[in-house]
Amino acid sequence: MKPKASQTLAAPVAYQIFCLRFKGECRSGGVSSVSYSSKTAALLRRVNDQVNRSISYRSDKGEVWKIGVSAGDCEDYALTKRKRLIGAGVPAGALRMATARTPKGEMHAVLIVKTDKGDFVLDNIRTNIVTRGQSGYRFLTIATSNPTVWQNAKSGREI
């Protein structure tokens, strides 16, 4: 189904620039949701933990989205997790970048994995993986199965 223009939003500008520089990292493909199993859960935990340990948090001076860095902020963690999960065989279409506000009102970016058991949030703020509803975040925008097409997270309609 082709999304209607009124349902879509432009991706964050820094993400658009990232995609122009690294086209291969913004590819879509495969199914839009994966089966949640103990094997899937273990893979998500392993990648989430490895990336959270491998990147030291450092706020950007200006908004620059990067991948595979040793120091960076929330979107750098999320992009790196996306790359590693795709490398481990998770379809790109089931991985969604998202922006949100934390309970403290701060802007934040995470990776959402869409499964048949719900949407799971891979985050650099917490060590455990929770469902989107358990995150405590107010989601603003979320990528669709095509990572260059985003939607308002409140729309409730999957495109």
Tens of pLDDT, residue by residue over 52-78, are 999 999 987 778 999 989 999 999 999
Q: How high is the pLDDT of residue 158?
A: 53
**All structural domains of the chain with their residue ranges:** 5-154
Q: In 3D, which of 141, 117, 146 has the Cα closest to residue 27?
A: 146
Determine the straight-line distance between the first and last CA of the chain, rounded to whole angstroms: 8
Give the CATH number of domain 5-154.
Answer: 3.10.620.30
Tens of pLDDT, residue by residue over 104-158, are 999 999 999 999 999 999 999 998 999 999 999 999 999 999 998 999 987 555 5
d(CA 95, CA 86): 9
